[in-house]
Amino acid sequence: MSMLTPPGMGGKYRITGNRYPRMRRPRNRRRIVLASTAAVVALSVGGWGTLQLIDIFSGGGTSANAAGSNSKAKDGAGCATDAKSGPAGGKKLDLPEPDSIEVNVLNATDRSGLAKSIADELKKRGFKIGDVANAPDEFDKKVDNTGVLLGAPGKEGDARLKVLGAHFKDVDTRFDDRKGDDVDFVIGKAYDKLAKEKEADKALTALSDPKHSGPSRGHCKD
């Protein structure tokens, strides 16, 4: 027995001078390894999530914004294109005044006196009145809608027909080989009355200045 061994202790707990008793439980290396692995995995997942957030709010967000900007630019371009061809932004048109347009009123219906009454109404609205008569055989009793507008082809002829057409609803527009500046309104079976003057004025405004008369579009929006 060593001199360092307390009285009454012997056997396995005897102190010899170079060893001492281990009073705590040995560490479980397997648990330590698992805990370390779990910590590494958690840190990795957290780091990956952080990188994703950074990407969204920095680089990724910029890309998304850029994509959105491109989309808006395309929408804007689409609106601009529509504006040029549609009623919400076309070029201004120089339309002739009604008093420079000579209108022939031709009755293709079986209602007598109708051509005269329409001619009188058009005269009140500023048009010059030419012939007031029955329609030729090619139209007589053959026009089912409100009527047919006839005029010379070309830009000026088209403009005259548009001005006259603003005073009617559901009319067809056609061109023939005439040389003069006059236009015809052939009365059809469905004719009831002229469009209201306010409606005609609104239609003419839309034709002459589409940018300020067309419906707005939310995006640009209808």
Number of neighbouring beta carbons within 10 Å of residue 126: 12
Q: What is the rounded CA–CA span in Å between residue 204 and residue 166? A: 6
175-202 pLDDT, tens digit per residue, is 999 989 999 999 999 999 999 999 999 9
Q: What is the rounded CA–CA span in Å between residue 78 and residue 217? A: 12
Residue where the block lists tokens 């000579």: 102
Q: Decide if pLDDT at 147 tops 80.
A: yes
What's the predicted TM-score (pTM) here?
Answer: 0.56
The domain total for the chain is 1
What's phi and psi for 42, nearest 5 deg?
-60, -40
166 lies in a domain?
yes
60 lies in a domain?
no
Q: What is the rounded CA–CA span in Å between residue 149 and residue 161? A: 7
159 lies in a domain?
yes
Q: What are the residues whose beta carbons fall under 8 Å from the beta carbon of 156, sequence distance 6 or more? A: 96, 181
Long-range contacts for 90-93 (Cβ within 8 Å, ≥24 apart)?
90/210, 90/211, 90/214, 91/210, 92/208, 92/209, 92/210, 92/211, 93/159, 93/207, 93/208
Beta bridge partners of 148: 172, 186
Which pLDDT score, from 0 to 100, does residue 138 have? Answer: 96
116-136 pLDDT, tens digit per residue, is 999 999 999 999 999 999 999
Q: For the residues 67-77, what does the mean pLDDT come to?
A: 43
106 lies in a domain?
yes
- Print the domain residue range for 187: 98-209
* H-helix or E-strand spanning residue 80: helix 59-85
**What count of residues does the chain have?**
222
What's phi and psi for 104, nearest 5 deg?
-95, 125
At residue 213, what is the residue type? S
CATH number of the domain bearing residue 194:
3.30.70
Q: For the residues 92-111, what does the mean pLDDT come to?
A: 93
80 lies in a domain?
no
Which pLDDT score, from 0 to 100, does residue 52 have? Answer: 63
Q: What is the rounded CA–CA span in Å between residue 188 and residue 166? A: 16
Q: What is the rounded CA–CA span in Å between residue 58 and residue 71? A: 20
Per the structure block, which two tokens stand in for 131? Answer: 């012939």
Mean pLDDT of the chain: 75
92 lies in a domain?
no
10 lies in a domain?
no
Which pLDDT score, from 0 to 100, does residue 139 have? Answer: 97
